[in-house]
Amino acid sequence: MTIASTLSVDELDAIAEGAAERGEPAAGAAELVAIVDGGRLADPRDDVVALGMAAELLFNADDPAGSLDLTDRAIDAHRRHGTAADFAQLFRARLLFELDRADEAMAELTPLRPLLTTDPDAAAEIAEALLAGGRGETAHEWLSVAVDEARAALPETDDLDDAGELATVIVYALITQRHAVRHELGLPHDALDEMAEELEAAAEEEHQAELTAALSGPFLFLPAAEFARLAERRPDLAESCGPTWEAHRADIEHILATVAETGITGARGIVRGTADELVQLSERRGDDPVDDVLDDYADELDGRGLNVPWPPARNDVCWCGSEVKYKKCCLPRSR
Ligand SMILES: [Zn+2]
Ligand SMILES: [Zn+2]
Task: Please check whether residue 41 is in contact with residue 7, taking contact to mean a CB–CB distance below 8 angstroms.
Answer: yes
Using the mean position of ligand 2's atoms as its centre, give its distance from the Cα of residue 318 in Å. 5
pLDDT tens, position by position, 5-57: 789 998 999 999 999 999 999 999 999 999 999 999 999 999 999 999 999 99
Using the mean position of ligand 2's atoms as its centre, give its distance from the Cα of residue 330 in Å. 4
How far apart CA 295 and CA 300 sit, in angstroms, is: 9
**Beta partners for 3?**
none
Using the mean position of ligand 1's atoms as its centre, give its distance from the Cα of residue 189 in Å. 6
Using the mean position of ligand 2's atoms as its centre, give its distance from the Cα of residue 18 in Å. 28
- Closest ligand by atom to 323 CA: 2
Domains of the chain, residue spans:
9-173, 217-334
Using the mean position of ligand 2's atoms as its centre, give its distance from the Cα of residue 227 in Å. 14
Using the mean position of ligand 2's atoms as its centre, give its distance from the Cα of residue 276 in Å. 23
Residue 4 pLDDT: 53
- What is the percent of the chain where pLDDT is above 90? 78
- Closest ligand by atom to 195 CA: 1
Residue 258 pLDDT: 83
Q: Are strands 219-221 and 270-272 parallel, antiparallel or unpaired?
A: parallel
Q: Higher pLDDT residue, 306 or 280?
A: 280
Q: Which residues contact 160 (CB under 8 A, 6 or more apart)?
A: 168
Rounded mean pLDDT of the chain? 92
Three-state SS at 3: coil
Three-state SS at 120: coil
**Backbone CA torsion sign across 308, 310, 312, 313:** negative
Task: Please check whether residue 217 is in contact with residue 269, taking contact to mean a CB–CB distance below 8 angstroms.
Answer: yes
Residue 293 pLDDT: 94
Residue 335 pLDDT: 65
**Average pLDDT rounded to a whole number, residues 179-192:** 97
Q: Higher pLDDT residue, 2 or 270?
A: 270
Per-state percent for the chain, helix, strand, coil, to nearest 5: 70, 5, 25
Confidence of residue 191 (pLDDT cuts 50, 70, 90): very high
Using the mean position of ligand 2's atoms as its centre, give its distance from the Cα of residue 312 in Å. 10
pLDDT tens, position by position, 216-264: 889 999 999 999 999 999 999 999 999 999 999 999 999 888 888 877 7
Using the mean position of ligand 2's atoms as its centre, give its distance from the Cα of residue 254 in Å. 12
Angle of CA points 328, 331, 335, to nearest 5°? 120
**Backbone CA torsion sign across 68, 72, 78, 83:** positive
Using the mean position of ligand 2's atoms as its centre, give its distance from the Cα of residue 245 in Å. 11
Q: Is the pLDDT of residue 265 over 80?
A: no
Three-state SS at 29: helix
In the CATH scheme, what is the code of domain 9-173?
1.25.40.10
Using the mean position of ligand 1's atoms as its centre, give its distance from the Cα of residue 97 in Å. 27
Residue 161 pLDDT: 82
- Is-cis flag, bond preceding 218, omega within 30? yes
Using the mean position of ligand 2's atoms as its centre, give its distance from the Cα of residue 257 in Å. 13
Q: Higher pLDDT residue, 335 or 126?
A: 126
Task: Please check whether residue 217 is in contact with residue 267, taking contact to mean a CB–CB distance below 8 angstroms.
Answer: yes
How far apart CA 92 and CA 288 sit, in angstroms, is: 44
Using the mean position of ligand 1's atoms as its centre, give its distance from the Cα of residue 147 in Å. 17
Give the CB-side neighbour count of residue 261, counting CA atoms within 13 A: 8
- What is the percent of the chain where pLDDT is above 70? 98
Using the mean position of ligand 2's atoms as its centre, give its distance from the Cα of residue 212 in Å. 25
**Average pLDDT rounded to a whole number, residues 269-284:** 95
- Closest ligand by atom to 199 CA: 1
Using the mean position of ligand 1's atoms as its centre, give its distance from the Cα of residue 132 in Å. 21
Residue 276 pLDDT: 96
- Closest ligand by atom to 253 CA: 2
Using the mean position of ligand 1's atoms as its centre, give its distance from the Cα of residue 297 in Å. 44
Cα dihedral 184/185/190/194 (nearest 10): 0
Confidence of residue 266 (pLDDT cuts 50, 70, 90): low
Specify the DSSP class assigned to residue 114: G
Three-state SS at 318: coil
Angle of CA points 204, 206, 210, to nearest 5°? 115
**Average pLDDT rounded to a whole number, residues 201-226:** 88
Confidence of residue 1 (pLDDT cuts 50, 70, 90): very low
Three-state SS at 159: coil
